Amino acid sequence: MKSTLSIAALLLTSASAFTTQPVAFAPSSTTRTTHGRSSQPTSIIVLNASKNKQKIASRSKWAETRGYGSADDDASSEDGAGKAAPKLIIAGAPASGKGTQCEIIKEKYGVVHLSTGDMLRAAVAAGTDVGKQAKDFMDSGKLVPDEVIIGVVKDRLDETDCVESGWLLDGFPRTPAQAEALATAGISADCFIFLNVPDEALIERVVGRRTDPETGKIYHMTFSPPEDEEILARLEQRSDDTEEKVKVRLEQFHANVDAVKGSYTDIYVEVDGTKKPEEVSATVMESIDSVLV
């Protein structure tokens, strides 16, 4: 059995990525989030996308070694024959482990994993009607309004892969207005999963994180520090990974998610995100299985 320290290190590593946030693009080299804060240049977004691929690959490998994907996929598909395609929503604060659970859910159930940022960019690239509307706001440096975002989401969920395989909305809806707009658009979910982790633990996870700029690998100075002195010397901390800034983000997150929960009381499932990743996954999958018919 792994030591307590090893398990803590695994939990910190797997929970390392921040939740994806919807973004609105300005015509310059910078972007703005839907909260109106300045974000990163386009070139850095591309770099981060590459790093995220590495994180996803690592999470997928973690899931496969524990039997959540790959070799078990065919058996899972057979076991799930005749079941409705899952329609899921997952929410969790930064560093709650949501990214890891999304990968496991995707591997286990074959659902389409969706974030609003990805859907907006895809709609714009495809030149859909709502994508063109979104682009107009992006090009003028304005935030994309909820009605346009909902249109983008609805169009994406109507596509064949989502209809046949099911979908997993990652961190959306973020506000009561968005939840109401989803319902008005006729979009309903089977299960709303909330990963609950105390703020103190989240702050500790975030503040101690460091990234290797050459490999994109994320370390933690307390739970999983690098053994190589050369790597240690080049590690970088994100500018917003300070206790003060994390507390602000958590306040905003709680204000929004607490209100959103009220729209999904009948399908709401709260999961203890402080447990071992495999225990969290077991609870999540049990909750999903219970609503699939």
Does residue 156 have an active-site annotation?
no
Does residue 249 have an active-site annotation?
yes
Residue of 121, 205, 217, 249 marked active site: 249
Spatial separation of the C-alpha atoms in residues 242 and 207, rounded to whole Å: 6
Residue of 205, 209, 210, 217 marked active site: 209
Residue of 98, 108, 210, 217 marked active site: 98
Residue of 32, 121, 174, 205 marked active site: 174
The distance in angstroms from the start CA to the end CA of the chain is: 36
Does residue 205 have an active-site annotation?
no
Catalytically active residues are 98, 174, 209, 238, 249
